[in-house]
Structure 1
């Protein structure tokens, strides 16, 4: 659907974001939901890390934990060397501007009683940045950056299309010059043609501003287009992480291969063999399977998989990492 033209970020850059052994649990009458269970990853300055997996695998919970919108049960989130999980509420407020979030449904995240100008200026008001004139100029500049006219500032969110509302959400997220944007399914509710426009906007903004992205999506075509590297998440854990090129050419985890196999292909009649599509339902996060959590749906599961949880480890002579006892290489 999309043809990627996203530049690769130099591998020698130190991480902007370093997530270590993060765990997030939600408690209810049914018990504790292990939404995120020991996740570690990093993002370099100006890089886009795609985060992909089925609904319910913990992607959004991880994104919200990084943005400090939910509490962590364990682990750390370091941004520019500062551990955000160790800060007081007052200290966190100072650093919160460095990480902003763009949500799936922009209309639900924008107060319908406020004008677009007021919505975009709100972060500036909260952090007491600039005079009234400077804030108004900043709003005009942000509207221009996301491709909206100056008179949009005086209108209300319901007066815009879905794609335009997402542009407003992006402008608001950029108001404080963040170092990292967490984008949670930002184009999933949009038509394909509008998706392409928003994705191209994000690529252009990244080139202009140098901001890093954690891009959360279930759509592999979208993730392929915008990402430098991709992490695959299953039932609260990262099971594979690699560059976009590595993952698309040689997915090593059976879950990743099954995700690729589930994508319809125009050349299905002449293409070579591929992994079996994903089957069965996602197990309950209240009681995840022992051992490898994917073994209940895995076509190559062995007895060891049912009792021993595999560690995420780098494959020989590559930065490609996989959490599988029997990693394989299969063309997507």
Structure 2
């Protein structure tokens, strides 16, 4: 039976549940295990931040949750429905409940269509409302994301990067989804624009009660937006905790290394030496704990026995042999 990994008992039933999810790709070099045995849950109106280095599998996991990538194993439950193996021609109902905002807003928007057509397309696909009702919905969504009404008649190239991301957010919200997967939604934007988009997402979440899976490599952004944080390394979740606990008392050496690498604003030195080396090859992951090749605290067991994600405190889990000590 699925357990709501990391959720406190006081929280409502999760709207998204992922259990033991695995994703594999066949390439000319062999098999890549991109995601291995990931379990997580998100409550309604909650933001779960997913953080890790580039290549760790964050975006792959996000795309699998919206079924843009087929999982090799495990289960995905969305609003109580198992969508793991629903055939693509029957995914339409599920797609109303989960949407995605992509990293590059320009690449995800058809440059030939007007903004009004782009935002209305999900409504048209799902046969929601009359033509006039769809136009009214487009106007409503433009207002929600802070764009003028005449934006509906223009095309994406006429907007800035931040404005295009607002268009992408409006499109994702058109069907009133219960979950939105945000894949590095501000990484391509200037810092001032990042803050505007993050504040917009916060306001929309409070107003609509939608749950967010917020994928990012930027710890400062994750700290700002998240209620809980999952840390991913080479396809696995290695730590999961509420935001305050994870940033104040991380239990996994990899999490501590990521936090130590964040630039300080007070002019002082880093708390520790930068993390050495790169992610191991996903074609040949190391035995035991995958992080042991870079971990300054590794012991003999780390090289042979892979640690399981286990509770190290209330609502706090870590996959580390030393986390209990």
Structures share fold, TM-score greater than 0.5: yes
* 1:297 match: 294
* 1:282 match: 279
Q: What is the alpha-carbon root mean square deviation over aligned residues?
A: 1.6
Distance in 2 separating the partners of 1:144 and 1:165: 14
* 1:321 match: 317
Aligned partners of 1:291 and 1:306 also within 8 Å:
yes
* 1:108 match: 107
Residue 214 of structure 1: SS of its match in structure 2? strand
Alpha-carbon deviations, 1:198-228, whole Å to 9, x = none?
A: 0000000000100000000000010000000
Aligned partners of 2:103 and 2:184 also within 8 Å:
yes
* 1:319 Cα offset (Å): 1.1
Distance in 1 separating the partners of 2:10 and 2:219: 23
Distance in 2 separating the partners of 1:23 and 1:182: 18
Aligned partners of 2:21 and 2:39 also within 8 Å:
yes
* 1:275 Cα offset (Å): 4.2
Q: Return the TM-score normalized by structure 2.
A: 0.95
* 1:235 match: 234
Alpha-carbon deviations, 1:121-150, whole Å to 9, x = none?
A: 001111111100000000000000000000
Distance in 1 separating the partners of 2:77 and 2:134: 30
Which stretch of structure 1 is more off in the superposition, 240-249 or 260-269?
A: 260-269
2:49 matches 1:53 = no
Residue 49 of structure 1: SS of its match in structure 2? strand
Aligned partners of 2:50 and 2:232 also within 8 Å:
yes
Q: Return the TM-score normalized by structure 1.
A: 0.93
Distance in 1 separating the partners of 2:105 and 2:113: 14
Alpha-carbon deviations, 1:288-324, whole Å to 9, x = none?
A: 11100000000010110011000000114x1110000
* 1:71 match: 70
* 1:115 Cα offset (Å): 0.3
Aligned partners of 2:8 and 2:315 also within 8 Å:
no
Distance in 2 separating the partners of 1:98 and 1:286: 34
* 1:4 match: none
Alpha-carbon deviations, 1:50-70, whole Å to 9, x = none?
A: 000000000000000001100
Count of residues in correspondence between the two structures = 319
Aligned partners of 2:289 and 2:302 also within 8 Å:
yes
Residue 294 of structure 1: SS of its match in structure 2? helix
Do the aligned partners of residues 175 and 9 (structure 1) sit closer, same or farther apart at CA in structure 2, a change above 3 Å counting?
farther
Distance in 2 separating the partners of 1:146 and 1:87: 32
Distance in 1 separating the partners of 2:223 and 2:27: 36
* 1:3 match: none
Distance in 1 separating the partners of 2:252 and 2:220: 19
* 2:3 match: none
Q: Which runs of structure 1 show a deviation greater than 3 angstroms over 4 or more consecutive aligned residues?
A: 8-11, 266-269, 273-276
Gaps of 5+ in 2: 1-6
Aligned partners of 1:104 and 1:184 also within 8 Å:
yes
Gaps of 5+ in 1: 1-7
Distance in 2 separating the partners of 1:268 and 1:325: 34
